Every structure is written in structure tokens, then in C-alpha cells.
Structure 1
Amino acid sequence: MLGWKDERPLSAVLPAKEAKAITKALGVHTCGQLLLEYFPRAYSRHGSGVLAEEAEEGDMVTFLGEVTDIRQFHSGAGKAITRLTISDGQTTFAASFFNAKYLTRVLHQGSRAMFAGKLNFYRGQPQLQHPDFLLLPAPGQKAAGTGSLNSLSAYGDPDELLRNLDYVPIYPATAKLASWRIMSAIQYILSTLPPITEPLGEVPAGMPSFDASIRGAHLPGPEGPEPHLERLKYNEALTLGLVMALRRLDTLKRSAPALPVHKDGYRAGLLAQLPYQLTDGQQQVLDEISEDLEADEPMSRLLQGEVGSGKTVVSLLAMLQAVDSDCQCALLAPTEVLAIQHARTLTKLLAQTGVAATVIPLTGSMPTAVRRQALLDIISGQADIVVGTHALIQDSVEFFDLGLVVVDEQHRFGVEQRDRLRAKGREGQTPHLLVMTATPIPRTIAMTVFGDLAVSTLRELPGGRRPIQSTLLPESRPAWITRAIARITEEVAAGRQAYIVCPRIEGAGGVIELAEKLSQGPFQDLLVEVIHGRLSGEEKDAVMRAFAAGEIDVLVATTVIEVGVDIPNATVMLIREAENFGVSQLHQLRGRIGRGGHESLCLFHTLAEPGSPAYQRIGEVAATSDGFELAELDLIHRQEGDVLGTRQSGSLRTLRLLNLAQDRAIIERASVDAEGFVDRHPLLAQRLVLEIDRGDREFLDKS
């Protein structure tokens, strides 16, 4: 962890049998892996109760509880049964033992012990069948237990091992490895571990040393585990902070083309002829971007804004500032639908305002002749603004003089992809970079994974936009669903258009089946069309053109319409099985409507049962249209793995303890400290970063 490793093999420190059991059960081979990858999930102080984890039938549970009743009797088959009633302070468990008459000599009413076993339920009552247990000895008592108790003897006197603990750590256990077996192995490893030299050179102010924290997180003294866990969380946050600070330093060492504002250029022409005024927020963000572009250091800026907050026109003005200085711009979009939509929107806006800048689309599905001409326009400098998908990154694409890269929906791309596009600038110079997202980023995420970017934020919506009414539509209310379908029909009759979003293409509730069902039923007099990811680029473009032209009444789609699609006449959206989508994704989808001056309605259909977590989550989305509030909610519901957008579940291996939803203060401090650390100790910072787990380094490079 950030400058410290313990690469001693478990087999060189622990008894051979214990080392083999731990490796087989947990997959760890070194002492450092065990110390840094398996922290307690809870602690019991002086025998106080520790709640059993929220577990399901068949799960292994480990908890500390008190025996509230013990009875012995014989079954009909003549077997001796000992039945315990155990309370962990909240839940009462029953535990049954067969032919275990010795139990009444070891356990009594009031005895406190750790129990481990497989959970099942009988008539709603949690049961443990013949669990392992470990009695926590009171003064004058001897340790006692079953199962793996003998493993403790391998490390010394079990009485002393258990009696000297101020806090008893409870570890995540497996069917083959009880919590106290992990505890005893870790305690022994720590007893053989020499004092650790402070990896950062100096102990952070107000925190315990790293050596004290490694020991105190596993075996806390009277002060408890909190200060030690906070220090280890700080180290995790500092790891990410150093990566971002080094990235910022690297950017500052590069040179970029200085792009001054021209008073009579394309940018000024667009501003003068816009049919509306920029909002105060748009003007402020534009000023921030323009100032960055005028410098000879590469801009690295993130523009985040609410759905429909006007990021597109701001990015166009930034691109025209580059074009005014005879530089080209590349706008990178995640899908062909969005790329073509952007190219069309930019071309239309330039034509309406009489600005002669040229916009060229470039996508993978273009006909060969059209693509060849586009490549010629790009390399010759005839193309001012090139809008494309991943096709822009290919080696065959060469720019005449690339000065600005704009990345839309940045969470769909990684640093690696952005840098490959920036490498297409003139020799010795790095193009400026503006990345945009309509998915607001929680502050803790912005400081960690996107900490190398300056942040501009658009919260204000342009004039004329009306709030979108959102309603929950449970499957258990068929009358509501019937009314929703009728509501869509009414909107179409009033000259409007509608989206219906499905979580899948085929099968029950999929795009194809639902479109056919609606076309033959309630929408038989309407023009219904489908769009999904299996259609070719030309087919998707044709559908979107027809929808934009008002030739389609109802568009049944997957999430290919999630971002960037701008049809002001679309006023109603029905999202089927909304529980299959994330919080931010639902907000993004909802943002496809309400883009004109008409009242708009979003209907969140769900199969989730009222009162369930999924139902509650959808209700929270329906209750607010504030994307920044929803981003924080998304972080709580899905944790950082999903919100980062770079993988669908899990999180950085580096983050064993740090919680991006709860540890904001630690993250803020570490982010500031990392900047100062890089200034004072740049070589040490680089060495510390190189020691990050290889998988995490690859993840961060692609984040």
C-alpha cells in the first residue's frame, strides 16, 4: 500500500497447515496480501455484541453473540440434541448440535462466543446447524470451542491470545476458514513484523503512523480502530491523488498552440448571430475555456452540465476559436447516432448564423468513397471541424493541424483513447482538450478519477425549457399502464412525438416484440418505428432523420438514444422496466424530452414491488430533476465502479477501505496534500505511483 510491501510468503511465517489453508480459502500467498486485503468487517469491544451480516439462505455467517438459553433433549430417533438460543443484539438465532453433551459444560446462559456456520431459515427463524464456536474467556475461564479452535494453539496459548484483545476483530469468513482462524494468523504475522518505516517520509499531521495503523486496523488498542482505518483510507486516497497530480504536472510541461480570441472571426460571428443569448452560466464557462485556449500550455478541462444545459453551443464556440487561428478541431462521440446528430446540429447552427466553417463527419460505417473523401479533406485542412466515433483514433486518420480535441460523454472513453487522438497534433505540440458530460460527476469522483482536469459546471437551463413531469408506473397497477398508453396517443394527436425505451432488443418486453404489439393494438393508427444497436449506421441514421422530420410518431428504442439526441417535438417518454437502468442513465434518458417549449412527461414503468430498494430508487429519480443530486444518489446506490463508467461492477483494487460516497473529507485532504507532495518530492511521488498494482495502473490509464 503506497510504498510498503510485505512479500514474505505465508509459508515462511505461519505453520505449514495454516498457510496452506489460508491460501486455498482466500487465494493469498504473502503476508502483505493478507494484511492489506482482508480487514475486519466489524469489531467487538470487551465482548459487546456484533451484529451478524445481512445474509441470505445458505450464506456463511460469523458473529459474536450471547447464549440466552440452552436445552438438551432426545429426538424421536433417540439422538441427543442440544439447542442454543443466541442473540447478537438484534437478531435471535437457534443453533442445534447432535450428540454434543459436552456443550453444557462449556457454554452456559450468558456465555459470549463467536459463532460461524451456514445460515438457513425454519418458519422465518434463522437457524445454524452445528456451527463452530469460540468461547471468549472471561477472567478465570479457559478458551473453549469447536472446529478450528485447535488452529489457535499453533500460535501460542489461546487464552492469552483472546484475553488480551481490547477489540475482537470479526473477519469475513468462508465455509473452510473461520473468522478467528484469520484473526490468529494475522496476529501472529504482526508479531513477527519489524517496525515499518513511514513510506511517505513523514507522518501526515494529526494521524497515526503507517506502522501503527496497519497493526491498529487489525488489532486495535483502547483507542479503537477508527484513527487507524482513517489513516489507511487516506493512503488509498493519496494514491489516486498522486496519479492525478503527476498527470497535471505532465500536462504543464507540454506546449500547445496558443489560440487567441479574434474580434472579427468565426467565433465572434456566431455570437453575434445566435438567435438567443447565452445564459450567465454559459458565458462564464466560455470565458474559462477561452482563457485556457489562449495559453501555450494544453488545456485539460471537463465541462459538466445538466441535460439540455447548452454544452453543445459552448463547445462550438471553443472550436471556432481554434478555427480562427487556422487550427482544426476533432469532436469525438461514443456512438454513430450521436456523431451524426452532432455533425447535423453543428452544420445547421453554422448555416443559420452565416458562419462558413466546415464540418465533416467520420464514422466506421461510411461508404468507402465518402470515407476516402473525408480523409482527404482532413489531411488537406479543408475540414475545420471533424465529428466522429472511434474511427477518428485510427492510424489512417491524419490531421493537417489539430489544435483542439473535444470529447463528448467522456465516461465512454479513457485517457488512453483521448491521448491517442491528441497525439495527432503537430509535432512537438499537444492539442487542447475539452471533455464534456451530461452525467454530473460526484465531487469525490471528480477529485479522484478526473482530478487531472479543471472542472467547469453548467447548472442553469436555457430559457424556454419547462420542467419535465415524472411519474412512477408500477406493473401492479394495470389501469395506470392503460392510461399511460392513452396519454401517448393524446400527445401524438396534439402533433407531438414519443419515445418508448426498452431494456433489451428481443424477447418479452424487448423493442421488437413491443413495437409489433403496439402497432397491432393501441398504436395501430400511428407511425411506429424501432431503433437499436443491431441496425447498421445507415439504418439508424435514416430512422433518426425520419423521427426528426416528424415522419415517425412513436420511436421504440434501446438506450442508443440515451445521449445527444435532440428532437424538440418529442414530449413524452415511457421507460419500460426502469429497474434495469441506473440512476444517471434514467436521468439521461429523461433528458431526451422537454427540449422544446412544450409540457413533457416521463413515465417510469417498473416490475419492482412497491417498497423494494429498486422501487424506491426509481421513485427518487422521479422525484427530482437535479442531475447533481442524482449523481450523489447514484454513487450511494451503485458505488464507484459503475459511476466511474469504466467497468460495470466492482471498484479499484486500490480502494479496499475508502468509500467515495462517505469519505469526502479524507479525499479532499488527500487531493490537496498530493499536489504539495508532488511539488516537494516529485521523484518519490513517481516511485510510489509505480508501485500501484499493475491492474489499477491500467485502470487509471484508461479512466
Structure 2
Amino acid sequence: MELTSPVSTINGLGPARVKILNEKDIFTYSDVLYYFPRKHLDRTKTNSINKLVKGESVTIIASIETFGEKPTRRGKIFQVIVSDETGLLTLSWFNGGKYIKKMIKIGQRLVIFGKVEWFNGFVITHPEIEVIDDGEVNVMSGGIIPIYPLTKEMASVGLEQKRLRGIVQFIFDSQISISDFFSKSILQKYKLIPLDRALRLIHFSDNNNDLKSAVKRLKFDEHFFLQLLVALKKYNIQKVGTKALLDIGPYFKIISESLSFELTKAQKKVIQEVHDDLKISRPMNRLIQGDVGCGKTIVAILVSSLTVGNNRQVAVMAPTEILARQHYLSFKNEFDKVNIPCCLLVGKMKKTERATILKGLKEGKISVVVGTHALIQEDVEFNSLGLVIIDEQHRFGVNQRLKLQEKGDNPHLMSMTATPIPRTLSITYHGDMDLSIIDELPKNRIPVTTKVVDQIKIEKVYDFIKTKIALGRQAIIVYPLVKESEKSDLAAAVDAFESLSSFQFSKIKLGLVHGKMNPEEKEKVISQFNKNRINILISTTVVEVGLDVPNATIMLVEHAERFGLTQLHQLRGRVGRGSEKSYCILVKRNHSNMSRTRLAIMERTNDGFLIADEDLKLRGPGEVFGQRQSGFFQYKIADIVKDGEIIREARELAFDLVKLDPNLCKPFNKDIREVFAKKYSHYLENLKLI
């Protein structure tokens, strides 16, 4: 048998079971071996019932004494009473009881995972349980036991824990050959065990040290191949030639000396790093990372002036029209001083206006264009595009960024983000880019005070807003949805606008803006808010970026527990931009421990990098970066949050190999190339490895 042998050749797997396994993307022996346990039970570290402590998370092996439904004020709950040699324990489910009832019977032994509570005796609510059938009692008496992820469909055809363990054992008993793609020298350097041993130990270990060795090796493999992709992408960028922008030109000095404020040391450092890139005859690929309010926009303006000073055009792309218009006004304000032609290109424009802009770009008469996705439309052509700036770059797909770059002859690329990114995430997700960090805020920025309040105190919050409005200040109130009907338990912007306009703020001018409004409507409302003709702006998260109103001093976020921490930090950044003290009020309706823990972080710090770290730990990279990018992080065993040292070592190896063998064509990289080709076949053409 081979690793590529189909699972249908495994004893005891008929068509029904094979079908279910195929639905889980398990087709071959190799797929089975890489179907890793979701956890491991250390038989020597299980808890006895008489030594349980309230609040502890425990693992228990116990027998079922009785089970059934019990009526309560909250409805019926399903309870199972279990025992070991030391006492009794109650397991409770408020839902899912019918499924549990089908899978258990009196006298069975269970492995139980959960958090201990006390209600007239020890109770674990909604525990994870695994049934130990009679044939596994001896197996469970010692060693490390793998617990595999199961679905109802798997259980329905008898693919339970014992069966899965048996399938894995069958494969190893078949004496299949598992070759290693790493050389002995690599294994020795990074203290890794061979692949065949790692795959065996991840399923069947006798002790924790063996298990840790297996986990480290398999995590290293996952991180390595992703870092290899990053290294190859970076190499391909660096080997392409482009026009070096050697001159400073006349505009940079005039604009920088005319500023009404002094650039921070961090801003000056980043501008120098970018300028150094522009002077090299290969395209820049740099990410400018900085917290809310650190001054990325003026950096982009000054870098653009350097580019225009070298007779090259600049395209600035933002994810929303609100942000694009905000940038356009900032760019135009500075470029008017030196007569640099600058225009705005967005989705809905008059045909004649759009045609004039397109003609100006094609003929080179317009030096700088700021826009949205409209910039990547086919009819947009440039005369000499030299620099592409992408703001809030994580909101764009790779193909969208490439489309804009392809409108020039290998233009320089500068991406910007106000979402601080933890280092382990940055070197993975943005590892092909050079990184510049603006880690300093302007001296005149006053920290925003953040307060978490319960919904029952909302009237006091409204009174506080009224006092600030009376002093001439403005406020922003953010809701998670547009209309209440979208999801019945969430406050919604439209409904709130109507209610607040009629009652709490009936004597105050309110405005409403949300993503379903057309651009002209949104622009009109925001313009009125900018001019203080609107006192309170009711909004969805469309104001997360691009709103810069120094007179706005209060940000109120409804249902704050529904937002990620980085998103809340972005919203908080919409206030505190002037000379007045500003406040961010987070209203919560969910009183869970998780909600309290998360929102307390916002009260504790204004440090975006610390917040990003906590957000990553709590929600994971897929949630933080959204569904479009989440596939990038679909690891089977690796953990980008916890594996910092492993990631650094895997990155070192990947970049060293690419430096020695950029096309992975040398004999010592043959096996690595084959595995990489299977994992990332859709990238190979772009990487020119085929």
C-alpha cells in the first residue's frame, strides 16, 4: 500500500463510510494520517470526582448511572448522572439532549471534558463527551489517547473514536513508506523528528514528550510551506525591474516646509525608508503600518510628491468612497500649493467629468488620482504610473491590487493600514512586503477616554451627549445594522435614527448614514456633519475609516460586544482628532464573561498593537481579517498566535532555501518542491515554477 492508496481499500470501510470520509476531504491513506486528533487525553492526568474544584476545566472518566429530562424554569434540560469510584457528577444540556440520548446508554463509560460548576452538587454544563465502548476499556487504561473531531454524519455510519483509531492503526500496520522532504541536516538544525515518526506519534504516543515532538514537527511543516510561498512571492517581486526615482524634485521640500505642524520622528523615518526604496530599480513593495491618528496620510502625500517630482503618476485606492473623498481633500489641499494636478475617481460620476479625468490620466496631464475600485476598471489608463498607494489594504483582494499595478510598468507599491498587526501575523500574511511602522503619535493628540456601560444606563449616556452638544461639540452613534428587521435582537441605525429624532434628541439636528445609501446621499450628510450643521451622526460602520471631524468628541457604539476589538479601536479613532477631550462609550447588552473581558481591554488601553494582539488571541486571524483572507490561515495543527518561535525558524529556513535555489529545481529541494506544488498549485504559474 502507498500513501496515495484510496481509503476504500481499508478493512471495514464500505461505500457508506467511504462516502462520509470523502465529504470530509479524506480520500487517501495520507489524508487519514493528516486527520489530526482535536485533543489528546492523558490518562495519568484525569480528575476524580471527589477532588473537583468549582471553576476548573477538567477531564474525567466516569460511568453512566442514569439519564433523562428534568423540568426547570428555563424549560426542560437533559441530565446525565455519572460516577467513578469516588462520587457522583451531573452533566447538563439545555439543548442537544435528543442527540446525546441516542448515543449513550446506562453503564457506558464516558470521557468528559468541561468546566466544573456547583448547583447542589458538582455539575458540568454542556460538556464535551466521548463514549468509550467495551473494546476500548483496556486502551483507555494508560498512555495518551487521541480524540478525533467527529460529526453526526460520521457517527451515523459507525465512524466513532474506536473505529477511527482502528483505521489509523490499519494504515501503520500496512507498513507504508513515508519519506521525509527535509534533509537530516535540516532536522538536526531545527531539532525536528522525522516525518514518519511524527505522524505515528501524533496519533499514538506513550508520553507527553513524544507528543510534543510530533506536534512541533507537524506545526513546523505547515508554517514552513506557507513561509516558502511568502519567500517565493518576495523573490519574484525583487527580480523584476522598474524605473528608479532618483530625484527629490521641487515639490517635496515646498510641501514639507509649508506644513502647519512638525512631522514626528517616526514619520520622517518611514518617509526615508520609502525614498530609499524608490531610488532602487526594482519595484517597492512596502506596508506602512500605524495606529489610528499617527499621520499616515501626510506620509502618503509627501511620498507622492517625490514620485511626481520624477515625472511619474500616482494612484491612491481606498476601500470606500467616504475615505477616498477624505483623502482627495487632504491631497488636493497640499498639492494646490505646488500646482500638482489631482483628481477624484469614484463609481458614480457624470460621464463628461469621468471622460475628462480618463483623458487627463492617459495623456499624463493629471499627476495624482485618488479613488475607489473605480480605478481598476478597464478603461482607466495611465501615461506613466510610477506609484500605487493602497489604503486599508486588507480590505482589497490580491487580484484587485494586481489589477491596479498592471496599469503601469511595474510601479512601486505602498500599502497602508491603520489596523496594527501582531508580528507573527505580519510576517505570515504580509511576509512578502517590507514593513515600516509609524509608532509615534503627534504630540497634540489627547488620549480618548473609553467607558463600557450597560444598556440600562443609556439614558444617562444620552444626557451626557446633550451636555457636550450644548457646548458646541458633535457626536457619532454607531449601530451594527441598517434596519431592525435584518436581525431582530440588534439595534439598527434607521430605526434608532427615527426614534432618537422623535424623543431623546428631538431638539438636536441628527443625520443618518449607512452603506445602503447612494454615494451622493452619504456625501451630503457627511459634508453637513463636517460643517457642524448636523450635531449627531447616526451610522453603521461605514464611518470606521475616512471620517475626520476634529469637533466630534463622542463616539457611542451600540452592541459593542458584536464588534471585534480592532474594529472598535478604528471607530474610537474617529474622535479625539481636535483639541478637546474626547470619549468613546461602548454600550453592551451581552453580560457574558467573554464580553466583559474583551471590552475591558478597550477601557484599559489605547495602544492599537496591544489591542490587535488581544483580538487575535480571542478571535483568531480569520475573524480579524475577514472571510476573504481567512482561507490563508486554515491550518490543521499550527497556531499563528502561539507558534511565534516555530514561525521564525520556519521563515528562516524558507528564505534561506529560496536564496540558494529560487526556482526549487536543485536535487536537494526536489521533495520540498513536490509537496509545495500540491499545497499551492494555484500559485505556481504566477511564481513561474512550472
Aligned with 1:225: secondary structure? helix
**Alignment-derived partner of residue 669 in structure 1:** 649
Deviations for 1:413-443, whole angstroms, at most 9, x for unmatched residues? Answer: 12221111111113xxx10011000000111
Aligned partner of 1:342 among 327, 350, 359 = 327
- Find the aligned partners of 1:635 and 1:297 in 2 and give their Cα distance: 34
Deviation of the 1:200 alpha carbon? 2.7
Deviations for 1:602-631, whole angstroms, at most 9, x for unmatched residues? Answer: 11011111x521232112112211000000
**Alignment-derived partner of residue 595 in structure 2:** 614
Aligned partner of 2:467 among 472, 481, 490 = 490
Aligned partner of 1:419 among 402, 409, 415 = 402
Deviations for 1:650-700, whole angstroms, at most 9, x for unmatched residues? Answer: 654751111111111111111111100212343246544321166899999
Deviation of the 1:341 alpha carbon? 1.1
- Find the aligned partners of 2:474 and 2:330 in 1 and give their Cα distance: 19
Aligned partner of 1:567 among 539, 549, 561 = 549
- Find the aligned partners of 1:450 and 1:646 in 2 and give their Cα distance: 17
Aligned partner of 2:269 among 260, 284, 287 = 284
What is the TM-score normalised by the length of structure 2? 0.84
Aligned with 2:386: secondary structure? strand
Q: Which has the higher helix share?
A: 2
**Alignment-derived partner of residue 342 in structure 2:** 359
Letter in 1 for 2:424: T
Alignment length (residue pairs): 632
8 Å contact from structure 1 (residues 319, 329) kept in 2? yes
| RMSD between superposed Cα atoms in Å | 3.5
- Find the aligned partners of 1:448 and 1:215 in 2 and give their Cα distance: 28
Deviations for 1:137-196, whole angstroms, at most 9, x for unmatched residues? Answer: xxxxxxxx45xx4xx8xxxxx96x778x73222223344132222112112112224232
Deviations for 1:330-349, whole angstroms, at most 9, x for unmatched residues? Answer: 10100111111110121123
Aligned partner of 1:227 among 209, 213, 220 = 213
**Alignment-derived partner of residue 571 in structure 2:** 589
Q: Is 1:691 aligned to 2:668, yes or no?
A: no
- Find the aligned partners of 2:400 and 2:199 in 1 and give their Cα distance: 38
Q: Note closer, same or farther for the CA distance 1:193–1:326 as it changes in structure 2 (3 Å cut).
A: farther
Deviation of the 1:14 alpha carbon? 3.0
8 Å contact from structure 2 (residues 293, 573) kept in 1? yes
Task: After TM superposition, list the pairs within 5 Å mapping 1:138-177 onto structure 2.
Answer: 145-146=133-134, 149=135, 166-175=143-152, 176=155, 177=159
- Find the aligned partners of 2:628 and 2:440 in 1 and give their Cα distance: 30
**Alignment-derived partner of residue 188 in structure 1:** 170
**Alignment-derived partner of residue 615 in structure 2:** 634
Q: Note closer, same or farther for the CA distance 1:208–1:686 as it changes in structure 2 (3 Å cut).
A: closer
8 Å contact from structure 2 (residues 622, 633) kept in 1? no
**Alignment-derived partner of residue 76 in structure 1:** none
Aligned with 1:441: secondary structure? coil
Deviation of the 1:326 alpha carbon? 0.4
Aligned partner of 1:312 among 290, 297, 305 = 297
Percent identity among equivalent residues? 32
**Alignment-derived partner of residue 42 in structure 1:** 40
Letter in 1 for 2:13: A
Q: Note closer, same or farther for the CA distance 1:623–1:654 as it changes in structure 2 (3 Å cut).
A: closer
- Find the aligned partners of 1:14 and 1:690 in 2 and give their Cα distance: 31
Deviation of the 1:122 alpha carbon? 11
Q: Note closer, same or farther for the CA distance 1:373–1:25 as it changes in structure 2 (3 Å cut).
A: closer
Q: Note closer, same or farther for the CA distance 1:70–1:537 as it changes in structure 2 (3 Å cut).
A: closer
- Find the aligned partners of 1:490 and 1:605 in 2 and give their Cα distance: 19
- Find the aligned partners of 1:89 and 1:358 in 2 and give their Cα distance: 81
Q: Is 1:526 aligned to 2:508, yes or no?
A: yes
- Find the aligned partners of 1:188 and 1:314 in 2 and give their Cα distance: 62
8 Å contact from structure 1 (residues 365, 536) kept in 2? no
- Find the aligned partners of 2:174 and 2:604 in 1 and give their Cα distance: 56
Aligned with 1:220: secondary structure? coil
Aligned partner of 1:241 among 207, 221, 227 = 227
Q: Note closer, same or farther for the CA distance 1:488–1:40 as it changes in structure 2 (3 Å cut).
A: closer
8 Å contact from structure 1 (residues 64, 88) kept in 2? no
Aligned partner of 2:491 among 509, 514, 517 = 509
- Find the aligned partners of 2:538 and 2:498 in 1 and give their Cα distance: 10
Q: Note closer, same or farther for the CA distance 1:50–1:389 as it changes in structure 2 (3 Å cut).
A: farther
- Find the aligned partners of 2:18 and 2:673 in 1 and give their Cα distance: 36
Letter in 2 for 1:640: P
Q: Note closer, same or farther for the CA distance 1:619–1:70 as it changes in structure 2 (3 Å cut).
A: closer
- Find the aligned partners of 1:327 and 1:88 in 2 and give their Cα distance: 79
Q: Is 1:374 aligned to 2:370, yes or no?
A: no
Deviation of the 1:565 alpha carbon? 1.5
Q: Note closer, same or farther for the CA distance 1:307–1:94 as it changes in structure 2 (3 Å cut).
A: closer
Aligned with 2:579: secondary structure? coil
Task: After TM superposition, list the pairs within 5 Å mapping 1:314-463 onto structure 2.
Answer: 314-351=299-336, 354-426=337-409, 430-463=410-443
Aligned with 1:330: secondary structure? strand
- Find the aligned partners of 1:301 and 1:506 in 2 and give their Cα distance: 40
Deviations for 1:278-309, whole angstroms, at most 9, x for unmatched residues? Answer: 00110111111110011111111010101000
**Alignment-derived partner of residue 70 in structure 2:** none
8 Å contact from structure 1 (residues 527, 551) kept in 2? yes
Deviation of the 1:388 alpha carbon? 0.8
- Find the aligned partners of 1:88 and 1:443 in 2 and give their Cα distance: 48
Letter in 2 for 1:690: A
Please say which of residues 467-476 and 88-97 is displaced more in the overlay: 88-97
Q: Note closer, same or farther for the CA distance 1:392–1:514 as it changes in structure 2 (3 Å cut).
A: same
8 Å contact from structure 2 (residues 319, 396) kept in 1? yes
**Alignment-derived partner of residue 137 in structure 1:** none
8 Å contact from structure 1 (residues 84, 94) kept in 2? no
- Find the aligned partners of 1:441 and 1:87 in 2 and give their Cα distance: 50
- Find the aligned partners of 2:230 and 2:179 in 1 and give their Cα distance: 25
8 Å contact from structure 2 (residues 558, 587) kept in 1? yes
Deviations for 1:82-102, whole angstroms, at most 9, x for unmatched residues? Answer: 97514899966599999xxx9
- Find the aligned partners of 2:280 and 2:342 in 1 and give their Cα distance: 25
Aligned partner of 1:537 among 519, 530, 542 = 519
Q: Note closer, same or farther for the CA distance 1:560–1:695 as it changes in structure 2 (3 Å cut).
A: farther
8 Å contact from structure 1 (residues 86, 92) kept in 2? no
**Alignment-derived partner of residue 659 in structure 1:** 639
Deviation of the 1:639 alpha carbon? 0.5
Aligned with 1:169: secondary structure? strand
8 Å contact from structure 2 (residues 233, 687) kept in 1? no
8 Å contact from structure 2 (residues 393, 415) kept in 1? yes
8 Å contact from structure 2 (residues 361, 383) kept in 1? yes
Letter in 2 for 1:29: F
Q: Note closer, same or farther for the CA distance 1:71–1:372 as it changes in structure 2 (3 Å cut).
A: closer
Any gaps of 5 or more consecutive residues in structure 2? 50-57, 68-79, 485-489
- Find the aligned partners of 2:538 and 2:359 in 1 and give their Cα distance: 38
- Find the aligned partners of 2:404 and 2:513 in 1 and give their Cα distance: 29
Q: Is 1:178 aligned to 2:160, yes or no?
A: yes
Q: Note closer, same or farther for the CA distance 1:193–1:399 as it changes in structure 2 (3 Å cut).
A: farther
Q: Is 1:259 aligned to 2:257, yes or no?
A: no
What is the TM-score normalised by the length of structure 1? 0.83
Aligned with 2:34: secondary structure? helix
8 Å contact from structure 2 (residues 232, 687) kept in 1? no
Aligned with 1:37: secondary structure? coil
Deviations for 1:435-479, whole angstroms, at most 9, x for unmatched residues? Answer: 000000111110111100111111211121100011111113x3x
8 Å contact from structure 2 (residues 317, 371) kept in 1? yes
